[in-house]
Each structure stands twice: as C-alpha cells, then as structure tokens.
Amino acid sequence: MLEIDELKFDDNGLIPAVVVDTKTKRVLTLAYMNRESLQISLEEGRTCFWSRSRRELWRKGETSGNVQHIVAITADCDLDALTVEVEKDGPACHLGEDSCFHNPILVKEKYSNFDADSLMDLIEGRKVEKKDGSYTTYLFEKGLDKILKKIGEESTEVIIAAKAEDKRETIYEIADLAYHVMVLMVETGISLDDIRQELASRHVIDQKVKQEKMTT
C-alpha cells in the first residue's frame, strides 16, 4: 500500500481526485485534496476535499447530508492523481444531480448511459406507485406465482436460443430473463447489493480453490 508521502502533489499542494460510484462506476465529480484532507478521508472513511474557491477543508455532505463513504482510493501510474470509489448517500452535484457530469456534448446512441441500479429503481417505483398500462405493475399485481412462471418461460427461451447457437437471440432472451429476475428480487426484498456481496464472497472462494490446486 502507498503512503501519502509517496504521492505527487502539485505546486499548490493539491492532487486531483476523481470520485466514482462504486456500484455503477459512473464518475460523480472531480475534486481536489491536500495532504490534510486526504488524511482525514482515510481516517474518517468519507470524502474530505480542499475547496480551491473558499480555500478551506470541506467534508462532502457536511451540510447537505449527501455523504460519500469511501470504498477504495487508488493512485494513477504517475502518482499525481487519485480515483476515489464511494458509496453515496445522495446526489454528488450541488444542483441535485446524481453526478456533476450531466451536460452532454456528444453521446452516440449506441453507448447511451444505462446501469442496472437505475433499472432496479424503476422497477421498485412500479411496485410502490402503480402505473396503468405498465407491464411491470401488471406482474406485481399478479403476484409471485406469475413472476415465477415468467422466469421459467424466459429460462427456457434462453436455453432454446443458446442451443440454436443464435447469439443475437440469446442476448435478447437473457435480457428478458434478467429483467424478470429483477422483478422477482423487488417482490421478495432482495437488492442488487445482496447479489453483489454474494458474488464477491464466491470470488474469494474461487481464489482459494485456485490457490489450493496450485499447491497440490
């Protein structure tokens, strides 16, 4: 692990910190740290920056409540810039936007922003606030048995498409299956974080298995 003294701060004693949502990997903001704010961030486990305009320390969320809990801090190859992965309690932008980077200049349609967390939020919204004509609302109204039946049907469609070696159709059917599984998750109170944590625990087990095989 690097020590703070190994980092290269600029002539003003600052180092840029790119803050990233650890779940979605979306860039939330670009801020600056000095040695003191970085040390505070490490000790408190939440982001603390140096305000270049006010020339003072500021803890993110100190007044707004939109605290950023630090998951990881990584320096770049030149040791003169940081990425800070966080779990956030609210919007990163002072304008109330999820990210400070919300003013598109160029976005190719093929690469338009999408993340599973946003889709999960939409599905959860359909369960809480019923919307007429919404298929998701329809599934929730029909209940668990209907949702499970659809998952069974979509699983079969995935198998058929994969067996036919039809990549495009397989992708389509996997997307359908994933959506219906997410509906099931909301219906049964399972979050994406629950799945992430389970997969992470299996990754650790997988690493141990690999190590054991290498030593035998």
- Say which CATH number the domain at 75 has: 3.10.20.810
> Residue 84: phi, psi to the nearest 5?
-125, 110
Question: Domain containing 19: what range?
Answer: 4-88
Residue 85 confidence (pLDDT) above 60? yes
- Say which CATH number the domain at 115 has: 1.10.287.1080
Task: Report the domain count for the chain.
Answer: 2
Burial class (CB in 10 A: 0-12, 13-18, 19+), 82: buried
Q: What is the pLDDT of residues 3-16, one digit of tens each?
A: 999 999 999 999 99
Last residue of a domain, one of 24, 58, 88: 88
Mean pLDDT for the stretch of residues 150-174? 97
CB-side exposure of 175: number of CA atoms within 13 Å?
Answer: 8
Last residue of a domain, one of 27, 53, 88: 88
